Structure 1
Amino acid sequence: MRKQQKSKNPKGNQQANWQSNLAIAECDNFSLAFSKGVSIEICKNKNFDLINQKNKKEYLQSISISKAKEKLSFIQNQINYKLKSIEEYLLANHFLKVIDINLKNISRLVVGLGSEHVFETSLTLDYIWGIPYIPSSAVKGGCRAAAFWEIVSLILNNYDKKESQKEISQDAIDEVARYIFQKLYDEDIYFENNKLLELSDIDKRILLYKFIFGTKNFEGLFTFLDAYPQNLSGLAHIFELDIINSHYPDYYSNPKDIPAGDWYNPQPVYFLAVKPGIEFKFTVFYDQHRSEKLVKSFGTGSIYSELIQLLEKNNFEILRNTIKTSLSFYGIGAKTRLGYGLFEILNEQGNSI
């Protein structure tokens, strides 16, 4: 069998490989190019088995260039059709749409940064259309975390009133947080005590959030939908290139033998983020049929019936406020402590309020 001859022009091969990489980057499906189109040349580094950050930067820049406006307009129509189909199905099955708001991110948004990826920095994208979205699990989890800190704050405020002259210790704060975490996340609802009416305001609040988000033995009464962009048609581009700047790369690669000195050159790690100014639609449905069955089964005088009816009586304001607090104060996605993932609320005309 004839042996293949090695090329006499390695630079020519490298140029051809890089041109093929750029051709992959022009794939209409951005998600496919981002997750499956990365070749070994992009990841190859001369001296180490590490990602070549220069090649990674160029590749991310090339694939993040926006599609033509007509393609984004087509994708927007398809996404709207998908969401409308889901809403029609839920409405036909006795669900009630209780939250339907648009929020615009005022800082960069990175959802799924730590997911598995050959670049070690990922981004959550729609598999079919290749646009960023926020999974319903992330929206629900963020709201539940906001509810958790709301209850912790209520307890600490009550503690302040009782012990006005004493400063709350960090140990006391940690103890309150552990207690509420166990009550809200780990403890089930015990329906055999449905006649128990002597509950504190804090316990009622915890029980109310359990009905909203669910527990291990109880499915929550609300269904959260994935949040998709709503203003794609008028955008020039969606993504921005960002960096994590590692100041001690040699130390992190060999901490036993190399000290963490200030004389090392920083090594930026590049990743993609959703640029500010993208409107996302957040939608939540209420399982009205199931809640009616629960109220009927619990009967009059039950604390459970009282709390479910309280939700409906206040027009689900508690959930609406929790979503707004979660997205406008705490943020969603990665790097929220650095100000990423924050949103502002828009009115029906698309203006900030």
Structure 2
Amino acid sequence: MKNNNKEEGEFVLPMDTLKIFKLNNEKIDNFNLLMNKFGKFKKFSKKFDKKINNFNFSVFGKLIEKIKKDYYGKIEKISLYLKFFEGEVQGRMVVGLGGPSVYEASMTLHHIYGLPYIPGQALKGMLRNYVILNFFSSEDEALKDKEFCKIFGDKENKGEVLFFDAFPIDRINIKRDVINVHYKEYYEGKSAPCDNLNPKPIFFYTVENTKFKFVIGSKKNMENYKIMGNGLLKLFKEALENQGVGAKTSVGYGYFSVSNMKE
């Protein structure tokens, strides 16, 4: 079968796409396209890392203003009880590290805007897990609790509380990080964990010290939802600050400092 893809510079693209791209002297201003469509279908390279660092992140400013107006503006018009608040990443955060990617590690980016964001599903899962760990001995026990099922849903009914996607609302800081696997052959069952084995660094990108806006909504007043006497918003704040969201939370990633939250 004939290979209609062509590699040129840092790009591996279908030849007709590459031709259009070159003829129009296009510049990539969508970070998602740069990360997931226009990079080499190999591991991270120094040249590709340089291209990431040289990306014009100022385009994020206009996108953030658009999201504030179009996304959050439309949410405010929904006929629900809504709670808006902000949180800033303390250190670094990575969401979607194990997701599908042409590289060894991934990062959740919005497919249209290209911005890093936190899916509402991830936030719901974070809070659900936090509640189970702190108030129940198991998930089965939690599912016997009416208030828990009312909030998060079960097999028969969907949850009454909505967790919206969270987007950055200020400057976005994206930084490269590394996982250094020292005994790759050992974990693959090919060798003993000896000092002569070569480390295998795996590079990935994180969001650092960036502020996000969170929204929780329901048809009922949020004050009606309590678990073991604890308000829902209080628990959400605790989960963001004490458990974190995304991957590698056990080593300090994904923790937030929450502000502007009123129960």
SS at match of 1:59: helix
Structure 1 residue 322, shift from structure 2 partner: 1.2
> 1:276-335, CA deviations, whole angstroms, 9 ceiling, x for partnerless residues?
x211111011123xx9xxxxxxxxxxxxxxxx9x71699x96111111111100001000
Structure 1 residue 250, shift from structure 2 partner: 3.6
Structure 1 residue 240, shift from structure 2 partner: 0.5
Structure 1 counterpart of 2:56: 67
The ranges of structure 1 where at least 4 consecutive aligned residues each deviate by more than 4 angstroms after the TM superposition are 23-26
C-alpha spacing 1:103/1:250, structure 2 compared with 1 (3 Å): same
C-alpha spacing 1:210/1:34, structure 2 compared with 1 (3 Å): same
TM-score by length of 2: 0.82
Structure 1 counterpart of 2:85: 101
Q: Which has the larger share of helix?
A: 1
C-alpha spacing 1:261/1:29, structure 2 compared with 1 (3 Å): same
Percent of pairs with identical residues? 29
C-alpha spacing 1:146/1:61, structure 2 compared with 1 (3 Å): farther
CA contact (8 A) 1:107 1:342 kept: yes
CA contact (8 A) 2:182 2:197 kept: yes
Count matched residues.
Answer: 243
Matched, 1:283 2:215: yes
Q: Which has the larger share of strand?
A: 2
Distance (whole Å) between structure 1 residues aligned to residue 47 and residue 66 of structure 2: 30
- In structure 1, the gaps of 5 or more residues are 1-15, 44-50, 153-176, 188-205, 292-307, 349-353
Q: Among 179, 194, 201, which residue is 1:244 paired with?
A: 179
SS at match of 1:90: coil
Structure 2 counterpart of 1:229: 168
Matched, 1:143 2:76: no
Distance (whole Å) between structure 2 residues aligned to residue 347 and residue 96 of structure 1: 17
> 1:66-110, CA deviations, whole angstroms, 9 ceiling, x for partnerless residues?
5253x222111111123234414522xxx111x211000102110
Say what the alpha-carbon RMSD is for the aligned residues. Answer: 2.9
Structure 1 counterpart of 2:75: 87
User: What amino acid is aligned across from residue 227 of structure 1 in structure 2?
Assistant: A
Matched, 1:181 2:139: yes
CA contact (8 A) 1:26 1:63 kept: no
TM-score by length of 1: 0.62
- In structure 2, the gaps of 5 or more residues are 1-6, 13-17
Structure 2 counterpart of 1:4: none
Structure 1 counterpart of 2:28: 27
The structure number with the bigger radius of gyration is 1
C-alpha spacing 1:340/1:213, structure 2 compared with 1 (3 Å): same
Deviates most, 206-215 or 27-36: 206-215
